[in-house]
Chains A and B, each alone.
Chain A
């Protein structure tokens, strides 16, 4: 049986891990390569790096982080943040990334999704959607790290992204991100019902029960950052909670090579 994926996300700035509340007030939580290796041993099912480096001078720091991580970590590795072109994606894939997550660039030029899917295959192309609720049963897509409203309806965009050839959706609730109040389940259910792509839920996890709720809402991947970095829960505790709720998880005890 296919297992749920528990995915720690490392926010990386200038080659260092940071994660804050609502995308501001960043705190330093260490070296990304070292953290990735720890998550690998702790039973993570995939890893995600979100590069939030602002200066274009430092954009290549992520390539080095990815390269060094891929030397010893044999888990699927997704990288997002600042990806504008197919060429950017190719450099990340060559450095050792398996999937590239695109957001603002796909909003301003949706053809990027189909170009990337044709060049690298759909499985490499994750589209990240930052959503904010604008009314009952209505969510709007925000770009540029969740700061800029686009006027685009989330469900319409999710369907379009699927038709353009994306392989996966990373859905973040900007209303919930960093709050610890749990996923926006209304958003998650609506999107999971609208498309057949795998959906990774993100934004708002604060308790173990939140992972269970996300999976029951239809997400097949569950992403979190702060609760792992600051040691509130381990990956093992998350998997135990999911298993206790009768949900399929990959067991922690892994064979040695």
Chain B
């Protein structure tokens, strides 16, 4: 029986790469998967794993997600029932308590903190490009097979602030320390684009597929 993975479609950015990345990562580990790009609450209810990509502004994405009838509720229900969840970029940011981009917008509140404009001094924004991950090797299943200093592709101007140390399992540095991967119980998120981070990203996607929190 294939692992059913739902990639949530709410009209945000490049979903094809996330779906294709999951398929390739699964093939490398000989995990049978059925990856569906979907906006149907019913599909989420059947899913074994849920991936929420996201590009753009927090408030706009929140509107997009709420704009599909029943989708957000189905997501919240499934996650509360213990289904493993991976948020990518803005999908990760939704896991926080609130977003401060354009307006104050509530997040899912699964992890502590808020999504605020990055303080980068004289550096350029967006934080765009490949940056190194810092983490304690072996500290989490999602990091299996990765070495500290591995590069991931970031594009964002807002980031998690006031986060709880134990919910941040990897960071990067741009102006100051930036939360790169967050995890709590069965929910995880990457600020960077796993689906655009070549082998490093595919490895994390593979780890997510084998993860049984």
User: Does A84 lie at the interface of the complex (its beta carbon under 8 Å from any beta carbon of B)?
Assistant: no
> Is A45's CB under 8 angstroms from B129's CB?
yes
When distances are taken between beta carbons in the complex, the residues of chain B under 8 Å from A120 are 13, 55-56
> Is B55's CB under 8 angstroms from A121's CB?
yes
When distances are taken between beta carbons in the complex, the residues of chain B under 8 Å from A250 are 130, 151
User: Does B20 lie at the interface of the complex (its beta carbon under 8 Å from any beta carbon of A)?
Assistant: yes
- Chain B facing A: main interface SS: mixed
> Is A71's CB under 8 angstroms from B193's CB?
no
Q: How many angstroms from the CA of A97 to the CA of B195 in the assembled complex? A: 12
Q: How many angstroms from the CA of A94 to the CA of B55 in the assembled complex? A: 13
Q: How many angstroms from the CA of A1 to the CA of B126 in the assembled complex? A: 14
Nearest CB on A from B198, distance (A): 5
Q: How many angstroms from the CA of A254 to the CA of B90 in the assembled complex? A: 26
**Size class of the A contact interface (CB-based, 8 Å):** 35 or more
When distances are taken between beta carbons in the complex, the residues of chain A under 8 Å from B202 are 74, 257
User: Does A98 lie at the interface of the complex (its beta carbon under 8 Å from any beta carbon of B)?
Assistant: yes
When distances are taken between beta carbons in the complex, the residues of chain B under 8 Å from A70 are 14, 16-17, 20
| Contacts known (A2-B129, A2-B130); A255 close to B203, Cβ less than 8 A | yes
Nearest CB on B from A180, distance (A): 26
Q: How many angstroms from the CA of A197 to the CA of B201 in the assembled complex? A: 25
> Is B155's CB under 8 angstroms from A123's CB?
yes
| Contacts known (A2-B130, A167-B128); A123 close to B55, Cβ less than 8 A | yes
When distances are taken between beta carbons in the complex, the residues of chain A under 8 Å from B130 are 2-3, 5, 45, 250
> Can you list 12 residue pairs at the A/B interface with Cβ under 8 Å?
A1-B132, A2-B154, A76-B155, A76-B193, A97-B14, A121-B13, A121-B57, A121-B90, A123-B56, A197-B125, A198-B128, A220-B128
> Is B56's CB under 8 angstroms from A256's CB?
no
User: Does A103 lie at the interface of the complex (its beta carbon under 8 Å from any beta carbon of B)?
Assistant: no
Tell me the nearest residue of chain A to B146, going by C-beta: A255
**A175-191 interface code vs B (CB 8 A; 1 in, 0 out):** 00000000000000000
> Is A76's CB under 8 angstroms from B20's CB?
no
> Is A3's CB under 8 angstroms from B131's CB?
yes
Q: How many angstroms from the CA of A119 to the CA of B55 in the assembled complex? A: 10
